[in-house]
Chains A and B, each alone.
Chain A
């Protein structure tokens, strides 16, 4: 069985500050892990994914995430927030042979001047 927990349904940061969005997973098989972003009235867009290669994954828009097996975590970070980063972020898990993504509840990121 697989599951995802995103700590913090809302995160607020100042423009230029570090962004840290937390994701912990549970999986009975080696996981594939994903971060998606959803801007208002738009579909989800893939930010980055981990599929058992390098544990530090770089994605679009300056985001990156680190897979830590010992902590069962895949936290998303960005060194310096921009106003345009305000959106909802979803962490998801899958695995070899799995045909669907299991999503977390999402974290809404607000960026203020």
Chain B
């Protein structure tokens, strides 16, 4: 597609339920990133993929959070047993080249998924 697409745009769930958030990167982009944006705060790095591998998972807040990427394309961020503190906007970004070359490879962001945990 023309840009990074995320679905759903909004998700309301009950505490304790599992949720899956989807990201479709720009076609051909090898690197994919997930960030979390809590209300009134900046973006918090969660994880990035180079191809289908995730060399850096350091930002995942807990073992309730996991992510995968298949076909060097779509990525899914899964949150198990959601808690109220998981409420945030989850943003996905992709870049054309290697993640370690951010001087050359601009990150393009999707519009995000707004997650509300009741």
Binding site for B on A (CB under 8 A): 4, 6, 9, 32, 36, 41-46, 49, 51-52, 90, 92, 94, 96-106
Asked if A44 contacts B45 (CB within 8 A), the reply is no
Shortest distance between the CB of B42 and any CB in chain A (Å) = 4
**Which secondary structure characterizes the binding site on chain A?**
loop
Nearest-Cβ distance from residue B117 to partner chain A, whole angstroms: 20
Interface residues on chain B, size class: 20 to 34
Q: Which 7 A-B pairs have the closest CB atoms?
A: A43-B109, A99-B99, A103-B42, A51-B103, A44-B109, A103-B43, A105-B42
B25 at the interface (CB under 8 A from A): no
Which of B40, B44, B102 has a CB less than 8 Å from the CB of A94?
Answer: B102
Q: Please state if A32 and B102 are interface contacts (CB–CB under 8 Å).
A: yes
Q: In the complex, A42→B59 CA distance in Å?
A: 23
B76 located at the interface, meaning its Cβ lies under 8 Å from any Cβ of chain A in the complex: no
Known contacts: A9-B40, A43-B110. The answer to whether A102 contacts B102 by CB under 8 A is: no
Q: Complex Cα distance A104/B40, Å?
A: 11
Q: Indicate if B13 sits at the interface (CB-CB under 8 A).
A: no
Closest approach, in angstroms, between the C-beta of B20 and any C-beta of chain A? 20
Give residues 60-118 of B contacting A (CB, 8 Å).
91, 93, 99-100, 102-104, 106-112
The residue that B56 contacts in the complex, of A4, A99, A101, A104, with Cβ under 8 A, is A99
Docked CA distance A104–B107 (Å): 16
Cβ–Cβ < 8 Å partners of B40 in chain A: 9, 105
- Contacts A/B (CB < 8 Å), 11 sampled: A36-B109, A43-B93, A46-B107, A49-B106, A94-B103, A96-B103, A97-B100, A98-B102, A99-B55, A100-B59, A106-B41
